[in-house]
Amino acid sequence: MIIVRDDMPAGLIAMEAVGEVTRADYQDIIRPELERAFAHGEKVRFLYILGSQFKGFEAAALIDDAKLGIKHLGDFERIAVVCDVKWVNHAIKLVNVATPCPVKRFAVEQQTDAISWLQA
């Protein structure tokens, strides 16, 4: 499940994964929320929190994530991922090489640092 976090500073879009992230989460929450932001024509600063309640991704969700990222490759200004899951952290390193905007991983206890970095 994805929770859109509305307790963030202005100018940031933040979402938190709780449990397993599914294809329905991408279709019903993630994609519409980001598409609204992209429609304004400004680059998006995105915080994705995969904290202690995160359990993983449904395979179809990973495919939808890749499609969304490719479609909007140039629409992000910065992406911060807060996560302590080892395989996700390795995947972020790969994504960072192929993404024109900076993508940075922060440990769960560094969420405040991630927000500061996005605002810089």
Q: What is the pLDDT of residue 42?
A: 84
Q: What is the pLDDT of residue 32?
A: 94
**Residue of 54, 50, 59 lying closest to 92 (CA atoms):** 50
**Residue of 5, 7, 9, 4 lying closest to 120 (CA atoms):** 9
Q: What share of the chain is helix, strand, coil (3-state, %, to 5)?
A: 45, 30, 25
Write the pLDDT tens digit of every residue in 8-45: 998 899 999 999 999 999 999 999 999 999 998 889 99
Contacts of 77 (CB under 8 A, 6+ apart): 43, 44, 45, 101
**Residue of 50, 70, 47 lying closest to 117 (CA atoms):** 47
Q: What is the pLDDT of residue 69?
A: 82
* Predicted structure pTM score: 0.92
Write the pLDDT tens digit of every residue in 60-103: 998 888 888 888 888 999 999 999 999 888 888 887 777 889 99
